Chain A
């Protein structure tokens, strides 16, 4: 295995493992040692064991572009991504700061709108955001928390600085892969964990359940919590069922629920049973055909009325999508200053708004050096990487941006950091990002680490699973005073 790393090229990027060719970063030294002893056959065996485990447990996602809706396993890279604890502690503080500000922002725009009146954010930005829900003005959400679950995407630039790329404040997904990755790693490399002090992630489900209990309507002492899924054909169904299973709650589809007299019930073999808290994995638009999209067959008619009356709690609350609008994102550092009177710990990626006239001009003139993003898309859709697009595509996006500037932002192409990954029979640098998962209940809890997504295609900067991305186990490692010298 040692020879696998021998020709390893660091390239013109920030490399997570090596500071220069052959110079391993201290927090990776022990791992390199272990891999150096490993024979190629052993590595291959471990790779197979991991792949079989994923397949047999059905840890898959669904790809839609063919008519069968093929199930695929999410490619998993065996070389973990390691973040030293002091570095993580800064990230953690930055994320707590950010979600605190986002919640204050949501409370504000659904109540007095001070931030708009003080001119910190232009009024129309919020009012024109696709997911702003004026129907919920002056509505008080349980425990005054809007975003209970957030997945915030972080990237590192060429100097290794952590930058926030986006916040996913609607229905962030991927946490089940993080948990399964760890389980598979423990099975494949049992003794590697004895040599490193890796912070555990296994209590995530318990923390999630605690949060869901915490936000239950006041009058309920033993709340019935359910997870609402769009159904088995949703690409994240595995995750929905995984989370329901690990919390021991029911997973329901819209058709399993009904609302009557401001209350929500599920249909059981023993009749109707009252539901108190709904962890919904369905976007606002589809929740209730009476209020939102009329044609939605996924939701429950009358659910929103029950929510208004305070008889059920929802995680996340309705209307949080405005916080992950990519134009609103531009203003998050301002929010942090405005509400908390602090400087942002984690900076944004530099962003240009097409709705600002001089920035629009810059975007149109430099489109080949920029990433153009639609304000309300995710999963790598509605996006253009200028340097990799054809002339015609760039022209098409120019037109789109000009026609609807409110809906577009642009960012410089960040040369994402790279992490050694096994590709084409050798170890090569591949670009990675990091999505930590934040829970906001009685307190803010962040599972140590997050999901490291890796763009396995050479040169690719797109890490989404729908676009050929994979993932790695992510370790937050404390300094090792406790050397227990267990040999593998």
Chain B
């Protein structure tokens, strides 16, 4: 497979996953606000700030909007063309990458990306976001799931498919860590206790944005405690949006491409990913909290960037034009 094509498939997949995660984040925050609507201390600015922070785009946001409120924040993560990580931008980039690899992906995959892109670009998309943001975000997540299903069912599970898988899972691990980290940025309203009513609602929101609340409930009985939520989202071995699950799967896909045994490594990307995988296999939630949850998540994000870079130099070394996308 052409190096350029491998690179484009990888980024196409990352951008779709990123669009989905933005939709999840915004959607959950909206729900959260509804849940809090009858709480006297609810302050909208406080509620939207963490989202902008977790996207690391505070400056850009400030340059585009006068004040931070729900309307501005939703616009920023959804349709703002100047935000390179808005849903609109992600889907445009995903489609651009798909367009350069149309002979590799199935027609059905292309049509699904194109449909999603045409939707966020259309007036009806804009109207839906205004009249019913929940529905808008639902369209995006369902559209992304549909794309994944179509990919699974219509594309040969060969090298290109592995690159798509890796892109999706690397992005998912990164986004999941950011969603969990969101709680770090959220300040409890003054007078609220850790473990209190609002604290619990906030942790539940984190679970919801990973579609993890129901799965969580089946395993943990009783209180939604911070350490349980973090343990589940970071280290669960079978929940498909946990960090460990994502890392396990892309590590396997990396070995699938090179043909090397999973217990060995054939290149730098596999060495780094194998190491991250075993760290996640053996880490306990106690270790993580001792290290500092926020610091631990930041370190994971850094290691994901390193794996992505190592992969690029292994498989796309001959490429003359480097991809300018951000990790």
Residues of chain A at the chain B interface (Cβ within 8 Å): 55-58, 232, 237, 241-242, 244-245, 248-253, 255-256, 258, 266-270, 272
Q: How far is the CA of A272 from the CA of B319 in the complex (A)?
A: 11
A269 touches B315 (CB 8 A): yes
Contact of A268 among B3, B110, B321 (CB under 8 A): B3
Chain A residue nearest in CB terms to B100: A232
A232 touches B96 (CB 8 A): yes
B4 at the interface (CB under 8 A from A): yes
Nearest CB of chain A from residue B241's CB, rounded to whole Å: 28
B103 at the interface (CB under 8 A from A): yes
B2 at the interface (CB under 8 A from A): yes
A267 touches B319 (CB 8 A): yes
B102 touches A241 (CB 8 A): yes
- Give the interface segment out of B111-119, B190-198, B290-298: B111-119
B140-197: which residues lie under 8 A (CB-CB) from chain A?
159
Contact of B103 among A251, A258, A272 (CB under 8 A): A251
Q: Apart from A56-B118, A245-B102, A255-B321, what are 18 other A-B pairs with CB-CB below 8 Å? A: A56-B111, A56-B115, A57-B111, A245-B107, A248-B103, A253-B4, A256-B2, A256-B4, A258-B318, A267-B3, A267-B4, A267-B318, A267-B319, A268-B3, A269-B1, A269-B2, A269-B3, A272-B318
Contacts of B320 in A (CB 8 A): 255
Q: Can you pick out 16 interface pairs between chain A and chain B where the beta carbons lie within 8 Å of each other? A: A55-B118, A57-B107, A57-B110, A57-B114, A58-B102, A58-B114, A232-B96, A232-B100, A241-B102, A244-B103, A250-B2, A255-B4, A255-B319, A269-B3, A269-B315, A270-B1
Contacts of B114 in A (CB 8 A): 56-58
A58-B110 contact, Cβ under 8 Å, with A244-B103, A255-B319, A272-B318: yes
Contacts of B5 in A (CB 8 A): 250
Query: Contact residue range for chain B?
Result: 20 to 34
Contacts of B4 in A (CB 8 A): 253, 255-256, 267
Interface centre among B1, B315, B318 (most CB of A within 10 A): B318
Contacts of A268 in B (CB 8 A): 1-3
Chain B residue nearest in CB terms to A237: B99
Contacts of B107 in A (CB 8 A): 57, 245
B6 at the interface (CB under 8 A from A): yes
Nearest CB of chain A from residue B266's CB, rounded to whole Å: 12
B257 at the interface (CB under 8 A from A): yes
Contacts of A242 in B (CB 8 A): 102
Contacts of B72 in A (CB 8 A): none
B249 at the interface (CB under 8 A from A): no
B316 at the interface (CB under 8 A from A): yes
CB-defined interface of B1-35 with A at 8 Å, one 1/0 digit per residue?
11111100000000000000000000000000000
Q: How far is the CA of A58 from the CA of B3 in the complex (A)?
A: 24
Nearest CB of chain A from residue B72's CB, rounded to whole Å: 25
Nearest CB of chain B from residue A175's CB, rounded to whole Å: 16
Residues of chain B at the chain A interface (Cβ within 8 Å): 1-6, 96, 99-100, 102-103, 107, 110-111, 114-115, 118, 159, 257, 315-316, 318-321
Q: How far is the CA of A346 from the CA of B89 in the complex (A)?
A: 52
A256 touches B103 (CB 8 A): no
Interface centre among B96, B102, B114, B115 (most CB of A within 10 A): B102
A241 touches B2 (CB 8 A): no
Q: How far is the CA of A258 from the CA of B2 in the complex (A)?
A: 12
Contacts of A270 in B (CB 8 A): 1
Nearest CB of chain B from residue A199's CB, rounded to whole Å: 25
Contacts of A57 in B (CB 8 A): 107, 110-111, 114
Chain B residue nearest in CB terms to A226: B2
Contacts of B103 in A (CB 8 A): 241, 244-245, 248-251
Q: How far is the CA of A282 from the CA of B320 in the complex (A)?
A: 20
Q: How far is the CA of A399 from the CA of B3 in the complex (A)?
A: 51
A256 touches B111 (CB 8 A): no
Chain B residue nearest in CB terms to A266: B2
Q: How far is the CA of A270 from the CA of B159 in the complex (A)?
A: 11
Contacts of B111 in A (CB 8 A): 56-58
Nearest CB of chain B from residue A147's CB, rounded to whole Å: 25
B99 touches A232 (CB 8 A): yes
Contacts of B118 in A (CB 8 A): 55-56
Chain B residue nearest in CB terms to A265: B318
Q: How far is the CA of A182 from the CA of B107 in the complex (A)?
A: 17
Chain B residue nearest in CB terms to A231: B100
Chain B residue nearest in CB terms to A250: B2
Q: How far is the CA of A258 from the CA of B285 in the complex (A)?
A: 51
Contacts of B96 in A (CB 8 A): 232
Contacts of A56 in B (CB 8 A): 111, 114-115, 118
Chain B residue nearest in CB terms to A232: B100
Chain A residue nearest in CB terms to B316: A269
Nearest CB of chain A from residue B305's CB, rounded to whole Å: 20
A269 touches B257 (CB 8 A): yes
Q: How far is the CA of A61 from the CA of B5 in the complex (A)?
A: 22
Q: How far is the CA of A266 from the CA of B315 in the complex (A)?
A: 13
Q: How far is the CA of A272 from the CA of B3 in the complex (A)?
A: 10
Nearest CB of chain A from residue B95's CB, rounded to whole Å: 8
B99 touches A241 (CB 8 A): yes
Q: How far is the CA of A151 from the CA of B114 in the complex (A)?
A: 30
Contacts of A267 in B (CB 8 A): 2-4, 318-319
Q: How far is the CA of A174 from the CA of B162 in the complex (A)?
A: 34
Contacts of B110 in A (CB 8 A): 57-58
Contacts of A58 in B (CB 8 A): 99, 102, 110-111, 114
Contacts of A253 in B (CB 8 A): 4
Nearest CB of chain A from residue B25's CB, rounded to whole Å: 28
Going nearest first, the 4 A-B pairs with the smallest beta carbon separation are A267-B318, A245-B103, A244-B103, A269-B315
Contacts of A248 in B (CB 8 A): 103
Chain B residue nearest in CB terms to A267: B318
Q: How far is the CA of A59 from the CA of B2 in the complex (A)?
A: 24
Nearest CB of chain B from residue A231's CB, rounded to whole Å: 8
Nearest CB of chain A from residue B86's CB, rounded to whole Å: 17
Q: How far is the CA of A34 from the CA of B319 in the complex (A)?
A: 55
Nearest CB of chain B from residue A86's CB, rounded to whole Å: 37
Contacts of B318 in A (CB 8 A): 258, 267, 272
Chain A residue nearest in CB terms to B8: A232
